[in-house]
Each structure stands twice: as C-alpha cells, then as structure tokens.
Amino acid sequence: MDIAETGVSLADWVCLVENESSFNTNALNSRNRNGSKDYGLFQINSYYWCIDGGVNTANGCNINCEELYEVDAAVSCAKRVVQDRNGIRAWMAWVDHCDRDLSNFLDGCEV
C-alpha cells in the first residue's frame, strides 16, 4: 500500500511527523504513564503496535519496536495504525496541531 492509499494527505503525514518527533528517526519517548514507549518518526506506541520487552498488549504491526527507527518500517507501521478505527486521530499530536486546514501547509516545499 502506497502512503497515498491510506486516505491521509501528505500534509497530514508531514504535520504529524513534525509534531511527534521533529523529523527525528531516532526519537524515543519513555515517559508514558503506563510504562509504554513511543518510537521513531511517528512515535508509534509499544503498548499496541510493537514489542520491546516492556508493557505490551498487542503487536499490531508485528514488529520489534527498535525497527521503527528505520523509515521503511516506521512508514509501514504508520499505515497499519491509520487502518485502525481511530485512523490518523490515533496520534494526539495530529489532533492537537494538525486537525485543521492544511491546504497551504506544504507551500514552498516543492512537492
């Protein structure tokens, strides 16, 4: 599945990554109250989506969490996350910062 086939615009993805990880592929947030961690560009949570030997209830992306530092693996897992019932709204950074008209968001990016 191409990222465009997710029904999520490129502007939404870029805004999400900017606000989740500041475009840092090695970002790690280990301050979640439930003991889970958020990994990589998309800050994908270990509680639901990957396995890291910590607090996990599922492995929705069928992946080891450290693989989420790799762009291809992170994109594949993010595409899986948006297929879930919450879609892009699974990310609070998107809800807080990107749930708006993003039609001009990529202006000047030459994409």
CB 40 within 8 A of CB 33: no
Among residues 12, 18, 38, 99, the one annotated as catalytic is 38
Structure tokens at 26: 């090695």
Among residues 5, 12, 18, 20, the one annotated as catalytic is 20
Question: How buried is residue 56: exposed, middle or buried, by Cβ count under 10 Å (0-12/13-18/19+)?
Answer: middle
Catalytic residue flag (residue 99): no
Catalytic residue flag (residue 20): yes
Closest by Cα among 92, 99, 84 to 42: 92
Q: For residue 28, list its beta bridge partners.
A: 39
Which are the catalytic amino acids? 20, 38
